[in-house]
């Protein structure tokens, strides 16, 4: 069964901490994405990557950075966590050469910043 | 306004049909999608329809596409309590491989 795996389901961090959210996919997908999901706001794209070492800003990149050193792994970094980054974070991947470009999502990481 | 619009809530009785509606803005979108998110989980691709189709059926699911009105709907026949979830409509604008999502419709199924 193909999968996108996010390393943590729940995280609690303190304001100002550096936070790493990890995502690994085993489907050899070129594209990987990080979204945050907040009630009433739906999904908002933070960053995406279409190849190793490549990254593009999404709609809300401020306060975040990403790293993609290997094709299967895409990390989201909160340089200095703040309370307004408390959210559900979703990782996804997709194939570029696909009939539908549909996403496969991970189960999500619920981050609380206190 | 939003690019992809959906109503936020829908409540149905178990056994009835559910119809979740969505409007989108980009007539050049080649694919339109429905994703399902169960509580505490990520999104799961439920079905998709190519823009040259009017309808797609898959067991209890029927997707209808009206390109003229840029309207997409998802019908779930014989709705069960296990269908309770948030349903997201999405389009890939301009053929992009990055979908634009609606805010999601929470489907509540009651006995």
Residue in the structure block whose two tokens are 């596409």: B65
| pLDDT tier for residue A72 given thresholds of 50, 70 and 90 | very high
* Per-residue buried b or exposed e for B33-72, using 16+ beta carbons within 10 Å of the residue's own CB: bbbbbeeeebbebbbbbeeeeeebeeeebbbbbeeeebeb
Q: Which tops the pLDDT comparison, A100 or B58?
A: B58
pLDDT at B1: 42
Interface residues of chain A, partner chain B, Cβ below 8 Å: 4, 31, 33, 40-43, 45, 48, 90, 92, 94, 96, 98, 100-108
pLDDT at B2: 54
pLDDT at B38: 94
pLDDT at A2: 63
Which of A41, A60, A102, A110 has the most B C-beta neighbours within 10 Å, making it the best mutation to test the interface with B?
A: A102
Average pLDDT of the residues in A41-64: 94
Which residue of A lies nearest to B42 if distances are taken between CA atoms? A107
**Pairwise CB contact (< 8 Å): A101 & B44:** no
Question: What tens digit of pLDDT does each residue of B38-85 get?
Answer: 988 899 999 999 988 999 999 999 999 999 999 999 999 999 999 999
Which residue of A lies nearest to B5 if distances are taken between CA atoms? A42
Single out the residue of B55, B60, B1, B59 nearest to residue B32, CA to CA.
Answer: B55
Cα distances (angstroms) measured from residue B9 to each of B13, B69, B87, B106, B107 = 14, 22, 10, 5, 6
* Per-residue buried b or exposed e for A55-68, using 16+ beta carbons within 10 Å of the residue's own CB: beebeeeeebebbb
| pLDDT tier for residue B28 given thresholds of 50, 70 and 90 | confident
**Phi, psi of B22, rounded to the nearest 5 degrees:** -150, 140
- CA-based torsion, B8, B4, A54, B45: positive or negative: positive
pLDDT at A96: 77
């Amino acid at each position: 069964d193909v999968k996108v795996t996010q390393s943590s389901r729940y995280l609690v961090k303190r304001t100002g901490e550096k936070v790493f959210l990890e995502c690994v996919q085993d489907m050899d997908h070129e594209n990987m994405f990080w979204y945050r999901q907040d009630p009433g706001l739906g999904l908002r794209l933070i960053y995406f990557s279409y190849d190793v070492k490549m990254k593009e800003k999404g709609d809300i990149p401020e306060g975040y950075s990403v790293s993609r050193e290997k094709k299967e792994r895409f990390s989201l970094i909160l340089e200095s966590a703040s309370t307004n980054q408390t959210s559900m974070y979703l990782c996804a991947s997709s194939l570029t050469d696909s009939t539908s470009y549909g996403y496969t999502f991970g189960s999500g990481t619920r981050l609380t910043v206190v | 306004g939003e690019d992809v619009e959906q109503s936020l809530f829908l409540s149905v009785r178990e056994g009835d049909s559910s119809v979740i509606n969505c409007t989108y803005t980009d007539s050049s979108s080649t694919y339109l999608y429905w994703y399902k998110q169960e509580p505490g989980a990520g999104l799961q691709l439920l079905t998709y329809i190519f823009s040259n189709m009017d309808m797609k059926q898959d067991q209890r699911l029927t997707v209808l596409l009206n390109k003229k009105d840029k309207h997409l709907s998802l019908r779930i026949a014989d709705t069960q309590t296990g269908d309770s979830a948030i349903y997201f409509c999405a389009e890939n604008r301009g053929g992009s491989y990055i979908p634009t999502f609606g805010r999601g419709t929470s489907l509540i199924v009651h006995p």
